[in-house]
Structure 1
Amino acid sequence: MASSSRRRLCDQELLDVLEGSDSEEELVEESTDSEVPGDLSSESESSDGETEEPVSVARTWCELESPTQAPPPRFPFTGAPGQKIACDHSPLSYLELFLTDEVIRKIVEETNRYAAQQQEGASLPRFSRARKWEPVTCDDIWVFLGLIILQGVVGKPLQKWYWTTNKILSTPFFGSVMSEPRFTLIMKYLHFSNNDEFDEATHPAPKLKKIWEIYQLIVANFKAVYVPDRDITVDESLMAYKGRLSWVQFIASKRARFGVKSFMLCEAKTGYIWNSVIYTGKGTKFAPQYREFGCATSSVLTLIEPLLDQGYCLTTDNFYSSPELFEHLIQHKTDAYGTVRANRRNMPSAFTARKLKKGEVVAWQKGKMMALRWRDKRDVCILSTVHNSETARTTTRSRQEVEKPKAVLDYNKTMGSVDRADGAMSFYPAVRKQQRKYYKKIFRHLLEQCLWNSYVLYKQNSDSPVPHHDFIWKLTEAICVKHPPPESAARPGRRASYVVNPTRLSGRHFAEHLPPTALKQAPTRRCVVCCNKKGKDGKKIRKETRFYCPDCDVALCIIPCFKEYHTKEVF
């Protein structure tokens, strides 16, 4: 009898603490004083005056009978979100924040070294393309990367078709900036590490030795350029790959199904990729202080480690969520919520004992952590440190009003950032199926991530951002203007296409009247600058002009469009 009354007392004390916390600092102070966050010890005296053993409420899951109690307070957010390295707001300047001079110089150095190693002492056939190899420069690599980026917008099944002269398939721009043999040779010798310096015993990630240095540089730039907002997400991403690789993963829920898996941390609001870890099986490089945890917990703690103790709120799915992970996050003043598997270790013993009707909710509390089970079409299990069992009305896609737990609504709102980034990168991919070398394919995937992060920052800082596909081709155009290839690199007799003209910002340009045609003595054409602007009604402006630039072969108004077209990178 005494034990049952003592148990009711413990439950009531827990509810009193959760409801009576007037400040977030009070709960934080209690968390740090106990062995486990939210640990509350109570002592009860017996009738004869003797003190019984203390009972730890934080070690006990207590069922919540009413959703009226206040949810656990969030930890105060002390981060400083936003872009930390300034740039001039042009598309290329954002990409240069991630592909820095250090990254480009490293690629140039290792590519030239690898080409020399391959050709040293080799007897090349008489008509081999490799005989025409010339060491690459930083400008060559930039133009090479620009063409890879543009291939994501101009999709063709075979790479050589980008240089074809067939009028049905031709894309003159590619041949105007770099010849097909030169592009193929750079792709053949593209390299990112010195093979002679590799030591498997001391290398931090032997399975990623071919790409490790560049990967570390680019991910470090992701973290240095931008600090995410409070809500962040961790999920897995899969880069399609079916080659011979011991750590290729199969994930049935992903569209690619087979490929190289990465654990990624993204900002929930924008999908900015802030950190990632490539999974290579047992040799995966996690932070050494988390070796005692399993793969799921170690991956999350490795990704979020620089953001701990700042009040961030993490969203995870049932692969990562566990009481073990959430307790560690609470110790470091980090909130979290997400779906959880009902059979996880240390979940409430009676979590799945009762069969629920549709719409019914049951919940248990353990300190700051709540485990909730809600019956929809099937059971949905949620683990959270910032929610209670309260529900709210929402409208479904079929315009029906339904009751859902607030924890489920918040999870649906913040969980999809990694999938959003993957989806955006898949629309204009830099990765090609024909790429057999795994390290070159991973580099192309890193290039996609750099493009996506560049576009996220560009949208945040631009008053009138262009669509994603326009951003990509304008970025390629800016690369070809800033890093012009030598005259010998392009095929003679080729000029730029109508839309993309890499020479429009250089040289001398003069306006002329459009030449007469067989039907009109004074023909007109649409001004390309005006057609890219929007009027007060939000629709694109349609304006005709009689003037054009013969060198660029585009119609332009004399004032101010002629000047804008030849002086601004983005118009």
Structure 2
Amino acid sequence: MASEKFTCNEVVGCLFADPDSEGEYLPLENDGDSFTHHASDASLPCNGAAGQSLDLHQAQMNPLPNVDGPLPNVSAGNNVSRGRSLHQEVSRRVSDVGNEAESYVGVQSLYSTSQLASLSSDHVPLRNCSDSNVAEHLSNSTGDVRRGRSVNRTVRGQRGGRGSRNENSLHSARARGRSGRAARSRSRGGVTRGRGAMHSLVQDDGNAGFEYLANEEQYQSWITPFDQPIGYLGERELSNANSPLDFLSLFLSDEFWNLLVIETNRYAHQFLASHQLQPHSRFHQWSDVTVSEMKAFFSLHLSMGLVEKSELEDYWAEYWPTATPGFGNVMSRNRFEMILSFLHFTNNEEYVDRGQPGYDRLFKIRPIINLVIPRFSAVYGPSKQLSLDEMTIAFKGKSTLKMYNPNKPDKYGYKVFVVSEAKSGYVLQWSMYTGQNRPNANADFGATHLVVPELMAPYTGKGHEVYMDSYYTSPAIADELASNDLGLCGTVSSNRKGMPKGLTREQLSLSKGDDPVFMRKGKLLACAWHDTKRFTMLSSLHSNTCVRKRIRSKHTDSGYREINRPVCVDDYNSFMGGVDTADQRMKTYLFPHRSRKWYNRIFNAILSVSMVNAHIIYCSCTAAPHKPLKVFVQDVITALLEGFSRKESNKGRKSSSLGDMPQRLTERHFICQSDGNPDCVVCSDRTRPKGRRQTKYMCRQCGVGLCVVPCNERYHTLKHYKKCHLDG
């Protein structure tokens, strides 16, 4: 189809028409007052990817005299030049006129910030065109078939429907103004190419009120200056003179130990009264536990985190390479396992059935949570920066609270929402996830919309900053925290409700090395950037400033490259890892053995978090050098054993008059020939290759296979008789 030529005024009228008017054009001829009314007083330079699409609009014009004249025929040419030549010609003529004027007003001032982003060097925005031939001309001038379809759809939208392409239908569409604009907002325009943002031919309202930032802004902080006390806040003075147990007692008070003793003894009596025990059951030997014995029990409990073995019984085993005699010196194996079996934290008689008012999924562990967790924030004041993230308490048993996350190291377990100090990892708030059926949940925002305000409630109005990942971050959360004088910064999913569509992958193509793209809405700043991968940030604390960073790179000779990193990204990398630090330290010396009781695993996690928090307070209250966490735990174990003495009745089988000597060392023994070929109990070891040793002889009194020489003598004279293959 042959294209027609238009005068510059006709096309400029289409470009700069007021989108809110119905069929009216912006005065352009000899009307400086009307022109400057729509323009700002100054023209600021643009930066970033969004600013690259504005280079063709830097022409200055005021007023505009005669710019009439035919524009070139752009229906021919390659795909790139055909799509741009019309716009370039208009910009050139406007620039020529502006250079001759005495006063200058930037062309970009005609646009709002959001409208500026929609202009690019690849297409011409269409607004209230007065001639259907303009649309046909633009459609034919675009070599890209898909882009041509988008333009045609846009023009048909401006006509208010799928009417014919004659002049009358276009004028009727202009008369129906609102329906034409509604259709334009539903149409999909072409996109720009290169490093700039991929914007629609027609500016729509899909950015949820966000506007592009074309130049660096002067950010003014709105948050309250932080002046809260930092560190230990308890009433009792703590210093180097205090033992590590004094710091742990800030969380595990006397009330904690009394609760464990009362509920453990109560549960033991309830169990023994309701069960018929086997004749040889060790539970027949149960006696009530005391506070000192409970502390000794937990000293062994903590020691097992320092010395990991595959089974509980191995801590009392006497095999010489792996023997740990300290456990047997404190408590017998049977006594330890009995206390572990009856360890309890609440009265089962107060349990409320599922579906009844007052039902609590965490009933078994609720007293410990209510007693210990509030102490975390009561005795310690955090610094300005906080981290919010989740922990996973590993558990593979049967529980309705168990979750599966394939992206976590511990794929099965309980999810816990945690707020911690960003710098030290001190845990301040700790809340277990028990399901999405929360009473005040809002279906429009999801479960995290309630979790975040609840966790951050103690820190509202104090000037804190909280950093979180995309699981929690959303514009709704950021606005709610900002209303409570709390700043937020975190990664966010670009398709979150309330996020601008202009930063999505479909509308904004970014590659490694591109400048970040920023958009603002009130206090909220949205940023899209491609570093090692593409991501989006949301912050109520930062401006669109960047810092120059030197990072490693294998593609350069020096091994480094420089990048422009947004300040919000730099702060996020610095302050987001608080919960991860706490999680790592908490699991370093965690009780390593499994339990079928789901609440035991949660209790062990709370105990370990309390130990890490106590160590952080110890480091803040004492002078350097500080004890590492391992030595701190060892000192706590030693302090828990003070005042405890092992009961004689709990030593196990009563020994003879010779003390603890076994029977094989105190009586007369005789060797006889065996009916078969048993393994020698002294020198045979099936756990190593070729370690099995068989014999034809055995001890008649002991009933075990023995070699005549030297195993018979070794077995009946040595307490630790097992022969090592290294002995020769």
Question: What TM-score do you get using the length of structure 1 for normalisation?
Answer: 0.73
Indicate which of 357, 378, 390 corresponds to 1:224. 378
Indicate which of 427, 440, 448 corresponds to 2:608. 448
Name the counterpart of 1:368: 523
User: Is the counterpart of residue 337 in structure 1 residue 492 in structure 2?
Assistant: no
User: How many Å separate the matches in 1 of 2:495 and 2:417?
Assistant: 23
CA contact (8 A) 1:267 1:273 kept: yes
- Give the residue type in structure 1 aligned to 2:272: Q
1:73 CA displacement: 4.2
Indicate which of 151, 164, 188 corresponds to 2:317. 164
Name the counterpart of 1:386: 541
Indicate which of 477, 493, 499 corresponds to 1:347. 499
Name the counterpart of 2:388: 234
Which stretches in structure 1 are left out of the alignment for 5+ residues?
16-57, 495-571
1:464 CA displacement: 1.4
Name the counterpart of 1:516: none
User: Is the counterpart of residue 214 in structure 1 residue 375 in structure 2?
Assistant: no
1:206 CA displacement: 1.7
Change beyond 3 A, Cα 1:320–1:7: farther
1:405 CA displacement: 1.2
Indicate which of 244, 267, 270 corresponds to 1:114. 267
What are the residue-to-residue correspondences of 1:539-558 with 2, within 5 Å? none
User: How many Å separate the matches in 2 of 1:329 and 1:409?
Assistant: 21
Residue aligned with 2:361, SS: helix
Higher relative strand content: 1
Moved more, 290-299 or 150-159: 290-299
CA contact (8 A) 2:414 2:432 kept: yes
Change beyond 3 A, Cα 1:113–1:430: same
Residue aligned with 1:347, SS: coil
Change beyond 3 A, Cα 1:480–1:489: farther
Name the counterpart of 2:331: 178
User: How many Å separate the matches in 1 of 2:258 and 2:327?
Assistant: 24
What are the residue-to-residue correspondences of 1:144-543 with 2, within 5 Å? 144-200=297-353, 206-283=360-437, 293-352=445-504, 353-359=507-513, 360-396=515-551, 400-403=560-563, 404-432=565-593, 434-462=594-622, 463-486=624-647, 488-489=649-650
1:252 CA displacement: 2.1
User: How many Å separate the matches in 1 of 2:37 and 2:619?
Assistant: 58
1:9 CA displacement: 6.9
User: How many Å separate the matches in 1 of 2:466 and 2:41?
Assistant: 30
CA contact (8 A) 1:72 1:368 kept: no
CA contact (8 A) 2:317 2:324 kept: yes
Residue aligned with 1:104, SS: helix
CA contact (8 A) 1:177 1:490 kept: no
User: How many Å separate the matches in 2 of 1:177 and 1:123?
Assistant: 30
CA contact (8 A) 1:177 1:489 kept: no
1:489 CA displacement: 4.8
Residue aligned with 2:587, SS: helix
Name the counterpart of 1:139: 292
Change beyond 3 A, Cα 1:373–1:490: farther
Identity rate, percent: 31
Change beyond 3 A, Cα 1:210–1:283: farther
User: How many Å separate the matches in 1 of 2:371 and 2:249?
Assistant: 13
1:204 CA displacement: 5.2
String of CA shifts for 1:442-490, please: whole Å, max 9, x gaps.
Answer: 1111111111111111122222111221111121011112555545556
Change beyond 3 A, Cα 1:71–1:8: farther
Name the counterpart of 1:64: 213
What are the residue-to-residue correspondences of 1:66-145 with 2, within 5 Å? 66-70=215-219, 72-85=221-234, 86=236, 87=238, 89-145=242-298
String of CA shifts for 1:44-94, please: whole Å, max 9, x gaps.
Answer: xxxxxxxxxxxxxx9721110112533644432243332111345421111
CA contact (8 A) 2:352 2:358 kept: no
Change beyond 3 A, Cα 1:305–1:482: farther
1:177 CA displacement: 1.2
Name the counterpart of 1:531: none
User: How many Å separate the matches in 1 of 2:471 and 2:407?
Assistant: 13
Name the counterpart of 1:547: none
**Structure 1 vs Structure 2 CA RMSD:** 2.9
Which stretches in structure 2 are left out of the alignment for 5+ residues?
1-16, 21-35, 47-206, 554-558, 661-728
Change beyond 3 A, Cα 1:266–1:484: farther
Name the counterpart of 2:714: none
Name the counterpart of 2:693: none
Give the structure with higher Rg (CA): 2
String of CA shifts for 1:128-159, please: whole Å, max 9, x gaps.
Answer: 11011011111111111111111111111111
Deviation >6 Å, runs of 4+: 4-12, 289-292, 491-494
- Give the residue type in structure 1 aligned to 2:311: L
1:181 CA displacement: 0.8
Question: What TM-score do you get using the length of structure 2 for normalisation?
Answer: 0.58
Change beyond 3 A, Cα 1:380–1:7: farther
User: How many Å separate the matches in 2 of 1:450 and 1:482?
Assistant: 23
- Give the residue type in structure 2 aligned to 1:184: E
CA contact (8 A) 2:516 2:528 kept: yes
Higher relative contact order (CA 8 A, sep 6+): 1
- Give the residue type in structure 2 aligned to 1:237: M
User: How many Å separate the matches in 1 of 2:478 and 2:317?
Assistant: 57
CA contact (8 A) 1:176 1:490 kept: no
Number of residue pairs the alignment of both structures matches: 449
- Give the residue type in structure 2 aligned to 1:438: W
CA contact (8 A) 2:208 2:499 kept: no
User: How many Å separate the matches in 2 of 1:475 and 1:111?
Assistant: 22
CA contact (8 A) 1:251 1:257 kept: yes
Change beyond 3 A, Cα 1:214–1:349: same
- Give the residue type in structure 2 aligned to 1:251: N
- Give the residue type in structure 1 aligned to 2:632: F
User: How many Å separate the matches in 2 of 1:203 and 1:84?
Assistant: 38
Change beyond 3 A, Cα 1:175–1:119: same
User: How many Å separate the matches in 2 of 1:272 and 1:469?
Assistant: 17
Residue aligned with 1:372, SS: strand
CA contact (8 A) 1:105 1:138 kept: yes
- Give the residue type in structure 2 aligned to 1:93: D
String of CA shifts for 1:320-368, please: whole Å, max 9, x gaps.
Answer: 0000000000100000101000000111131221212323210101111
Change beyond 3 A, Cα 1:180–1:230: same
